[in-house]
């Protein structure tokens, strides 16, 4: 077997692993994320970041417990999303309330 063939097999094998993992855990992870964020779009963004990180790993076979790894990364991504939010200014709050009254 040529080295290029073995490389292609490993890419194909990796794609199969990622595909199977997405199929198995996609719904579960979305159900885990959705109650913790404000919108469906935020949940989808977080899940996409998790799959991106998972698919870019070079050592997929080295992960002993895929479920545990996925939930840990997902929790971290949810936390990151809260950290990225710009805190509302107190003036913005009063401006919004004033606009609602008018």
Domains of the chain: 3-101 (1.10.1740.10)
Read off the pLDDT of residues 21-55 as tens digits, 9 standing for 90 and up: 999 999 999 999 999 999 999 999 999 999 999 99
Q: What is the model's pTM?
A: 0.72
Query: What string of DSSP letters covers 53-83?
Result: HHHT-S-GGG-S-HHHHHHHHHHHHHHHHHH
Can you give the pLDDT at residue 84?
85
Read off the pLDDT of residues 6-16 as tens digits, 9 standing for 90 and up: 444 478 888 99
Give the mean pLDDT of 56-81.
92
The answer to whether the beta carbons of residues 74 and 32 sit under 8 Å apart is yes
Tokens 């490389």 locate to 7
């Amino acid at each position: 077997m040529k080295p290029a063939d073995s490389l292609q097999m490993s890419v194909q094998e990796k794609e199969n692993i990622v595909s199977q993992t997405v199929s198995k855990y996609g719904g579960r992870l979305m159900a885990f994320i959705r109650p913790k964020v404000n919108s469906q779009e935020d949940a989808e963004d977080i899940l996409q970041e998790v799959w991106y990180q998972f698919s870019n790993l070079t050592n997929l076979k080295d992960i002993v417990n895929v479920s545990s790894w996925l939930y840990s990364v997902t929790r971290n991504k949810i936390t990151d999303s809260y950290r990225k939010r710009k805190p509302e200014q107190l003036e913005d709050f009063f401006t919004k309330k004033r606009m609602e009254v008018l």
